[in-house]
Chain A
Amino acid sequence: MSAELAGTGPLLRASIRYDGRRFVPFIALATALSVSSVIAYALVFPSAEARAGLAAALGANPALGLIFGPARDLTTVDGFNAWRSLALGGFLAGLGAILLVTATTRAREDSGQAELLASGVLGRASRLMSAVVMALGGSLVLGLIAGLVTVLFGGGVESSMLLGMTFAATGCMFTGVAALTAQIGSDSRTSNSMAMGVLGVLFVARGFLYSISAPDWTTWLNPLGWIGETRPASGNVWWPLLLAAGFTIVVLALAFVLQARRDFGQGAIAPEPGPARGRDRSPFRLAVRLNRGALITWAVAFVVLGVVFGYFASSIKDVFGSNSAIQQILAAGATTPEALIAAFVVTILGLVGILASIPGVQAMNRVRTEEMEDRVEPVMATAVSRAGFYAGNVAVALIAPALCVLIAGTLIALIASAAGIGVDLGTVFLQAIVTIPAVWTVVAVSVAVIGARPQVALAAWAGVLISFVLTVLGPSFHLWDWILAISPFWHVPNVAAPAPNWSGLLVLGIACVALTAIGFAGFRRRDLAR
């Protein structure tokens, strides 16, 4: 056995140094998730009355249960935190562990670095072992930090630490899953997708079974269900974590057995051959093809978002009921209940719009990535003009977010109008449509940056960031209108208002066209891959 693991120590130290940082964002996100619940709870729901209202409104909403799972006790800060963070925090830890394990095992084989390592004094199992030890350790650190920081910010000691340990346990289980899929997939991408697929399916299955009130024993079929049964702040049951440990050990053992039989750089599943002839024959088709996987994922995400926001909208009256802070954040100065609900619809569609601009900006950043990886060069050496190439990509970057807004908007319109809260389908749908120009303006910022100044590609995200900060947080800071007006979403007219301010669309149109023109002019003029 020791020969099998020769060199694990030095390799592990090097891996932690070079790859450890991959896991840091997940530690930060999981911790922020838990801590923000504790902080927000006291601010947003100061009174016992407000808390009871929250418990009644959210606890009974099956759409939210789909994501967050059962709301066992929303009347205490720890109970609220457990409800809000348990599922998502575990999801983050699992995701981080999967990415870390795949990046340090199969991705190394695909890139050739592992070949250099494997030819050195290194046991056959050492690379997998060092990846596994790093991910298990990372998960535990994530759990401890999330728990301790939550306690520092006022969370209960036992429930917060238990919550942190549920994150760690999920991270450990998916370290095992990723180690296993890394032996099965034909390359790192496939291995990653398989492990993430397992995580996604188990996550949705857990929420789905809960929201349709399936029999209790079904919970025990799903490893993520075990995690939920720890019930932080509602009983603090520690022993289900032992099940998670058992699961991790069994799956890891299987991974090591398979790894011993596997050829370097190959998985158990041989890659499928591709088509011998191609059908993508234009820059637009190429752009669609390159973004296809990401866009399908986003489309599914917006279906889920539409359903969740739709149900959220339909329970709006109960949620608003007695809460002044939410009114302030979401509705920013609306007065009558009808106007309040209309403003709420504008706000959630604005949120949908901000999120929908992300795939658009991603599609534009993809242009830069392709360029730097020398894949634009052979295309530009064919009879394709700069403008033609850029237009194909810009089209994808504009169409994709518009579709996302329409998907979520349609679902919100359908669900909210059926709930009898005084909004009709046509108005909500129209509101979704007038949100699109604001989304395009945000994307147009990235069109301008990637076209004219791609060296500062990070600036492509400026539109998304500004919109988020000003639209979501701005009103609660009582900022002046001229600052809020920097956000494109400030200009979106409220179509339910007696006299909608349509001139906002003109402003957005001008900004959008100007930014896009800058992008095209820049792309036409600049050196490629510089």
Chain B
Amino acid sequence: MNASDAAIDVQGLTKSFGKFQALRGLDLRVERGEVHGFLGPNGAGKSTTIRVLLGLLRADAGTMRVLGGDPWRDVVELHRRLAYIPGDVSLWPGMSGGEAIDLLGTLRGGLDEKRRAELIERFELDPTKRGRQYSKGNRQKVAIVAALASNVDLLILDEPSSGLDPLMENVFQEAVGEAKARGTTVLLSSHILAEAETLADRLSLIRDGVIVQTGTLTELRAQTRTTIHARLERGLDGQAPSLLHDVRVDGSSLTASVESSRIGEAMALLTPLGIEALTVAPPSLENLFLRLYDAPAGGEAAR
């Protein structure tokens, strides 16, 4: 165990399954105490990364530290200090939810009884149903309660709220917020962008087995363009200025995107043309996501 500050520090991680290269030199750093969003399209390598971090898969190459330990070698010691929620929870068909929670909790080294009871209550989970009787959302709740009722330093969540209804999704976000307040580090893989936007301090975006962007939401936003919709009295004369990108003119209305840092300049440019209506959409994670992933596979990350 070294004194590395980061809860998770991965460098140059590669992993192949036969000929298929799932991870090709992935770098990921999660500081202690932060909620780190881990975003990417289906098949980008999120779950593979997480399984390597859990010691379920063995990395082909790269250096990795999780809570200062080696995820492959120090499995037992590390797993006492972390909890995991898979994205697609499969429960033992004949075992009740309560039994599964206790089994997983005890194997990890014990549950906080008070929190267990409280979480079951808040998630409105019936712990006496058998695994085969639960709906997808309820199976997910069983795994959530089992993980959040443990006192751990690190939570690894792989699309944890898939199948939850919006109400339960709120409860889940609250519970993760409380875990963070207790000082727990959270690695949150998700494709629900609103969830990541609400919870995450920093984000890493993965694509084709490499991290293509990482930073705080503000930092990532700064790299993205803001979308402007304007109805103008007079149309643009001749060529659009280089300030505006993706310009589309339809009669008197104009749609364009502009670097987030240069909105003021754009306003100065448009005001003389007589603005009748104006919408400025702040760069959403969704925009960022779409920009990154629309680019052809294998190419450099789009800016």
CB-based nearest A residue for B150 = A382
Partner of B129, one of A274, A283, A384: A274
* Distance (whole angstroms) from the CB of B151 to the closest CB of chain A: 13
Residues of B within 8 Å of A189, CB to CB, are 93-94, 132
The answer to whether A275 touches B96, judged by C-beta atoms less than 8 angstroms apart, is: yes
Q: Are A271 and B133 in contact (CB under 8 A)?
A: yes
Determine whether the beta carbon of B58 is less than 8 Å from that of A383.
Answer: no
Determine whether A17 belongs to the interface, using a CB cutoff of 8 Å to chain B. Answer: no
A187 touches B84 (CB 8 A): no
Tell whether, in the assembled complex, residue A373 and residue B132 are in contact, meaning their CB atoms are under 8 Å apart. Answer: no
A276 with B98, Cβ < 8 A, contacts A189-B93, A271-B130, A382-B79 known: yes
Residue of A276, A281, A526 most packed against chain B (CB within 10 A): A276
Cβ contacts under 8 Å, A110 to chain B: 132
Report chain B residues within 8 Å CB of A527: 56-58
Indicate if the CB atoms of A378 and B98 lie closer than 8 Å: no
Provide the residues of chain A in CB contact with B56, threshold 8 Å. 377, 380-381, 527-529
A385 to B80, CA, bound (A): 11
Contact B104 A382 (CB under 8 A): yes
Q: How far is the CA of A274 from the CA of B92 in the complex (A)?
A: 12
B86–chain A nearest beta-carbon distance, Å = 6
CA distance in complex: A290, B102 (Å) = 16
- Cβ of A274 and Cβ of B104 under 8 Å apart? no
A-side residues, CB < 8 A to B, are: 110, 187, 189, 271, 273-283, 286, 289-290, 373-375, 377-386, 388, 525-530
Select from chain B the residue with minimum beta-carbon distance to A285: B103
Q: Closest Cβ of chain A: how far from B46's Cβ, in Å?
A: 15
What residues of chain A lie closer than 8 Å to B11, measured between beta carbons?
A: none
Q: For residue B98, which residues in chain A have a CB less than 8 angstroms away from its CB?
A: 274-278
Contacts of B93 in A (CB 8 A): 189
Contact of B17 among A187, A528, A530 (CB under 8 A): A530
Query: How far apart are A386's CB and chain B's nearest CB, in angstroms?
Result: 7
Q: List 23 A-B contacts (CB under 8 A).
A: A273-B128, A274-B97, A274-B99, A274-B128, A274-B130, A275-B98, A276-B96, A276-B98, A277-B99, A277-B127, A278-B99, A278-B101, A278-B102, A278-B103, A278-B106, A279-B99, A280-B102, A281-B102, A380-B54, A381-B56, A381-B84, A382-B109, A528-B56
Q: Which residues of A contact B92 (CB under 8 A)?
A: 289-290, 375
Cα–Cα, bound, A256→B56 (Å): 49
Which chain A residue lies CB-closest to B109?
A383
Q: Cα distance A110–B89 when bound, in Å?
A: 17
Q: Is B194 an interface residue (CB 8 A)?
A: no
Q: Are B89 and A378 in contact (CB under 8 A)?
A: yes
Separation of A274 and B133 alpha carbons in the complex (Å): 11
A276 pairs with B130, CB closer than 8 A: no
Residues of A within 8 A of B94 (CB): 189
Least Cβ–Cβ distance between A262 and chain B, in angstroms: 17
Q: Which residue of A lies closest to B132 (CB)?
A: A187
Q: Which residues of B contact A379 (CB under 8 A)?
A: 103-104, 107
Q: Is B88 an interface residue (CB 8 A)?
A: yes
Decide if B100 is an interface residue (CB 8 Å cutoff): yes
Tell me which of A280, A385, A526 contacts B76 (CB under 8 A).
Answer: A385
Interface flag for B90 (CB, 8 Å): yes
Tell whether A384 pairs with B79 under 8 Å between CB atoms, given A271-B133, A374-B90, A375-B92: yes
| Contacting pair A286 B130 (CB below 8 A) | no
Contact A373–B90 (Cβ < 8 Å): yes
Residue of A nearest to B75 (CB): A385
Q: Please give the residue numbers on chain B whose beta carbons come within 8 Å of chain A beta carbons, in ascending order.
A: 17, 51, 54-58, 75-77, 79-80, 82-84, 86, 88-104, 106-109, 126-130, 132-133, 143, 146, 156
Query: Do the beta carbons of A381 and B79 come within 8 Å of each other?
Result: yes
Give the residues in chain B near A277, CB-CB below 8 Å.
98-99, 102, 127
**For the complex, what is the distance from the CA of A274 to the CA of B146, rounded to whole Å?**
17
**Most A-side CB within 10 Å, residue of B80, B82, B94, B107:** B107
**What is the count of residue pairs linking A and B with beta-carbon distances less than 8 angstroms?**
118
> In the assembled complex, which residues on chain A have CB atoms less than 8 Å from the CB atom of B58?
525-527
The winner among B84, B91, B106, B146 for most chain A CB atoms within 10 A is: B106
Known A381-B54, A383-B80, A528-B57; contact A275-B99, beta-carbon cutoff 8 A: yes
Partner of A383, one of B76, B88, B133: B76
Most buried by B among A110, A289, A375, A530: A375
Q: Is the CB of B102 within 8 A of A378?
A: no
Shortest distance from the beta carbon of B133 to any chain A beta carbon, whole Å: 6
The CA of A110 and the CA of B101, in the complex, are separated in Å by: 23
Does A383 lie within 8 Å of B99, measured CB to CB? no
A274: nearest residue on chain B (CB-CB)?
A: B96
Q: How far is the CA of A187 from the CA of B130 in the complex (A)?
A: 11
CB of B96 within 8 A of CB of A378, answer no
CB of A114 to closest CB in B, whole Å:
15
Complex: chain B residue closest to A370, CB-CB: B92
User: B189: shortest Cβ distance to chain A, in Å?
Assistant: 14
Query: Contact at A275–B128, with CB atoms within 8 Å?
Result: yes
Contacts A380-B55, A381-B56, A383-B109; A273 near B143 (Cβ below 8 A): no
How long is the Cα–Cα vector from A278 to B75 in the complex, in angstroms? 25
- Are B108 and A383 within 8 A (Cβ)? yes
Measured in the bound complex, the distance between the Cα atoms of B78 and A385 in whole Å is: 11
List 17 additional A-B contacts (Cβ < 8 Å) besides A278-B106, A380-B75, A384-B76.
Answer: A110-B132, A271-B133, A274-B128, A275-B128, A278-B99, A289-B95, A374-B88, A375-B92, A380-B55, A381-B79, A381-B84, A382-B104, A383-B79, A385-B76, A527-B56, A528-B51, A530-B17
Question: For residue B78, which residue of chain A has the nearest CB?
Answer: A383
Closest to A283 in B: B107
Bound state CA distance, A386 and B56, in angstroms?
A: 9
In the bound assembly, the distance between CA atoms of A154 and B93 in angstroms comes to 48
Bound together, the chains give a CA A277 to CA B127 distance in angstroms of 8
Q: Which residues of B lie under 8 Å from residue A279 when comparing CB positions?
A: 99, 102
Whole-angstrom distance between the alpha carbons of A525 and B97 in the complex?
31
Question: Which of A276, A286, A377 lies in contact with B103, CB distance below 8 A?
Answer: A286
Task: Report B-chain residues with C-beta under 8 Å of the C-beta of A375.
Answer: 90-92
Identify the closest chain A residue to B91 (Cβ): A375
- Write out the residue numbers on chain A whose beta carbons fall within 8 Å of the beta carbon of B82: 381
In the complex, what distance in Å separates the CA atom of A84 from the CA atom of B66?
64
Nearest residue (CB) in A for B88 is A374
Q: Which residues of A contact B128 (CB under 8 A)?
A: 273-276
Q: How many Å lie between the Cα of A384 and that of B109 in the bound state?
A: 10
Chain B residue nearest to A379 in the complex (CB): B107
CB neighbours of A385 from chain B (8 A): 75-76
A388 CB contacts on chain B under 8 angstroms: 76
* Nearest Cβ on chain A to B214's Cβ, whole angstroms: 25
Whether A274 lies near B95 (C-beta < 8 A) is yes
Shortest beta-carbon distance from A121 to chain B in Å: 27
Expressed in whole angstroms, the minimum distance between the Cβ of B106 and any Cβ of chain A is 4
For the complex of A and B, list the 5 residue pairs with the smallest distance between their C-beta atoms, beginning with the closest: A274-B96, A278-B99, A278-B102, A273-B128, A381-B84
Smallest CB separation, B128 vs chain A (Å)? 4
A280 to B106, CA, bound (A): 9
Tell me, in angstroms, the Cα distance from A373 to B92 when the chains sit together.
10
B127 neighbours in A (Cβ, 8 Å): 276-277
User: Which residues does chain B contribute within 8 Å of A530, judged by CB atoms?
Assistant: 17, 57
